[in-house]
Structure 1
Amino acid sequence: MQIDANKRSSIGNLRITGSSTAAGGLYDRVKIVGEGIVEGDMKCQHMKCVGTLEMEGDLQAGQAGIVGTFALTGNVRSDRMKNSGTVSISGDAVIGTLTGSGTVEVKGHLQGNQIALHGHIATGGDCEVDEFHLKGMFDVGGLLNAGAINIRIFQDSTAKEIGGEKIRIRKASLLHPFSLFFRPSPHAKLVVSVIEGDDIYVEHTRVNVIRGNQVVIGPGCEVGLVEYKVHLEKKKDAIVKESRKM
């Protein structure tokens, strides 16, 4: 999101230091240091929160940085968001690039170009991006869809369906550096109904159906049915109840 240069020179900034409440509106830069409440929709070029921010309305921000806690009752649209804490969005979110560490919860749908996060992602609906890179855990209420999916599972994770071109799902090593939020569990497992893609590799996953061209079923997997076009490989101790070449 870009604000015209002429308009930027004519609009003000919003800064909250300590504890205060402010009205929404159009701003160039928004900075919260402490505890802030913003009442109403807000549009800005840059937003930074160090502390706690509660918003009652929708947010449009070119760039947003969260260090602490950010809770919003509406929808979010941002070109870039970096989170180092907890973000809770009651509506839908369209975020071009989402990076950082911590927890991001979107009760509606999440869309964007790239997610590269160390932490926890939860959506009530679908999560659709071009690239999905996660070290941590996720709970997707609908479809997780991305061209490239690369996941290291730290804790139990769930999704209704997963779809993509190249899918890599592995359990994190117990020696893997852990975040401040949680460390890898030796029993971490992904539970999902359907995984569909071109090139698929999964570990420690319980899934009803996998469909793909090149499919590798790694250790710790329990699969009801694999449908493949080109190649199927099953690693030691993986369970595949039924497989068929399409």
Structure 2
Amino acid sequence: MNDINSIKIIGNGIITNGEYEKVSILGEAIALDSFKCNYLKVVGNCILKDEVIARRVKILGEMLCEERGITESELEILGELRALKDYKVNKIKVLGEARFEENLFFEETDILGKLEVYKDCEGNLFNSRGKLKINGLLSAENIDINPNGISTISEIGGSKIIIRRKGLFSFGESKVISNTIEGDYIELENTECEIVRGHNIRILANCRIGKVEYTGTLSVDNRSIVGEEKCLKN
């Protein structure tokens, strides 16, 4: 692919099936068929009716993906993305808003804006300083969440899970609400959860936990409330 195979849409246009070096949308565009490109940049509005595979995607406007999407390198969202089917990405960076109505698969995240996932969110490194709503399971090897506003996550699972406020300024209350948190090492602050299970667990300030089950060590800050503590050591 080279620059000859690039497309720039300034007014209204259609993206046809093919392979492109760069696709730039400054106006309104629709893709009726699948296509591949090295770089997709959306400044205006874009509707993708079929599967799209891109090495890198940058969204400053609005993009709707009606079928599966794949970004092999970085997906950067400064505007709005709505994906109706599964989306697979290496690194996703959200400064605006992203909504995935099925599953999101990733290698690494950097969430500063708003992320919503209707089903599961699965990957390796999950980092967030934004607002989250995940209706299914958030699963990653390492999870680091710095709450900004109220985030709701049905289930959280990982090897190392840290939920802590780290000096980020925000208006109003900031916390994470979850049904279940399960991992090897868990450190929680500003968290409400029914059940926390793990090996080594630290409950810091401003937490309300229904039940904690642990196999290693447990420490609970006196500014938090834990309903029941159960040690499962053999």
In the aligned structure 2, how far is the partner of 1:58 from the partner of 1:11? 23
- 3-state DSSP class of the match of 1:216? strand
Deviation, 1:125, is 0.8
- Alignment deviations for residues 209-228 of structure 1 (CA, whole Å, 9 cap, x no partner): 10111111122211111011
Partner of 1:134: 128
Partner of 1:3: none
Question: Structure 1 unaligned runs (5+)?
Answer: 1-7, 178-183
- 3-state DSSP class of the match of 2:16? strand
Deviation, 1:34, is 2.4
CA RMSD of aligned residues (A): 1.7
Change (3 A) 1:10 1:22: closer
Deviation, 1:112, is 1.4
In the aligned structure 2, how far is the partner of 1:13 from the partner of 1:57? 19
- Alignment deviations for residues 175-221 of structure 1 (CA, whole Å, 9 cap, x no partner): x35xxxxxx24322211111011111111211111011111112221
1:83 aligned partner, one-letter code: I
Q: Which moves more between the two structures, 139-148 or 14-23?
A: 14-23
Partner of 1:46: 39
In the aligned structure 2, how far is the partner of 1:121 from the partner of 1:185? 18
Alignment of 1:142-181 (within 5 A): 142-171=136-165, 173=167, 176=168
Q: Does 1:227 align with 2:213?
A: yes
TM-score normalised by the chain length of structure 1: 0.88
Partner of 1:114: 108
1:19 aligned partner, one-letter code: N
In the aligned structure 1, how far is the partner of 2:60 from the partner of 2:198? 40
- 3-state DSSP class of the match of 2:184? strand
1:194 aligned partner, one-letter code: T
Q: Is the 8 A contact 1:11 1:26 kept in 2?
A: no
Aligned counterpart for 1:64 among listed residues 40, 57, 60: 57
Deviation, 1:100, is 4.2
In the aligned structure 2, how far is the partner of 1:10 from the partner of 1:166? 44
Partner of 1:102: 96
In the aligned structure 2, how far is the partner of 1:108 from the partner of 1:185? 30
In the aligned structure 2, how far is the partner of 1:212 from the partner of 1:123? 25
- 3-state DSSP class of the match of 1:244? strand
Q: Which moves more between the two structures, 20-29 or 122-131?
A: 20-29
Q: Is the 8 A contact 1:154 1:172 kept in 2?
A: no
- Alignment deviations for residues 127-155 of structure 1 (CA, whole Å, 9 cap, x no partner): 01100011111111111011111111111
Paired-residue identity, %? 28
Q: Is the 8 A contact 2:124 2:141 kept in 1?
A: yes
Q: Is the 8 A contact 2:43 2:60 kept in 1?
A: yes
In the aligned structure 2, how far is the partner of 1:154 from the partner of 1:100? 14
Partner of 1:5: none
Question: Structure 2 unaligned runs (5+)?
Answer: none
In the aligned structure 1, how far is the partner of 2:229 from the partner of 2:142? 24
Aligned residues: 231
In the aligned structure 1, how far is the partner of 2:171 from the partner of 2:86? 30
Q: Is the 8 A contact 2:80 2:96 kept in 1?
A: yes
Deviation, 1:37, is 2.1
In the aligned structure 2, how far is the partner of 1:64 from the partner of 1:9? 17
1:12 aligned partner, one-letter code: N
